[in-house]
Amino acid sequence: MKTAKKLSKSDLPKNINKRILERCRNINGCLVWSGATSKPNGKGYGRIVAREGFTVCTHRAMYAANIGHIPAGKIICHICDNPLCCNTSHMFIGTQKENMTDMKSKGRGFKNPDKGEDSVLSKITDKDVRYIRNKYIPYDKEYGNTAMANKFNLSSAQISRIIKKTRWAHIK
């Protein structure tokens, strides 16, 4: 992950607030950026060219211009959980770890799927895992890693993880 760079008011042009606010809409208290974004289809964070060769996230520019300096390694977190929001009253400075803790406390983010065959991501069953572990013979043409991978339509790396119990560890 890239480390966040420091950002100060002096790094920004004097008219940055005006330029950002001209492209924001007030939606339920959030000042939602409607310009360019860091991901396609208006997803991600708002982006603006602060000066030639220097593009910044709109929420970081608003924070630096109105609240103060953002030290290197610190990020600007959204209380509203809207990455396009430029309302500085919806922002706080923190670390990535603090942001992830905030996200989890709100029940957001990736939910750990059920384990094993109960997971919607599973390609094999608990029974298949037991079979692989019981029948596996290193380098064997019928029960070796490659053969098992072909039999269960998995990668040989995944078969190794099953054997070593770094995956499907809950199956004895």
Residue tagged 């042009």 (tokens): 13
Based on the domain organization, do 142 and 100 belong to the same domain?
no
Whether 1 maps to a domain, the answer reads no
Whether 128 maps to a domain, the answer reads yes
The conformation of residue 2, written as its DSSP 8-state character, comes to P
Domain boundary among 105, 129, 149: 105
Whether 125 maps to a domain, the answer reads yes
β-bridge mates for residue 140, sequence order: none
Based on the domain organization, do 98 and 19 belong to the same domain?
yes
Domain boundary among 55, 78, 105: 105
State how far the Cα of 24 lies from the Cα of 17, in Å rounded to an integer.
11
Based on the domain organization, do 51 and 95 belong to the same domain?
yes
Whether 15 maps to a domain, the answer reads yes
β-bridge mates for residue 25, sequence order: 32
Find the domain containing 47 and state its range.
Answer: 9-105
Whether 3 maps to a domain, the answer reads no
pLDDT tens column, 106-148: 888 766 556 788 776 788 999 999 999 999 999 999 999 999 9
pLDDT tens column, 47-83: 999 888 889 999 999 999 999 999 999 999 999 999 9
Q: How many domains does the chain have?
A: 2
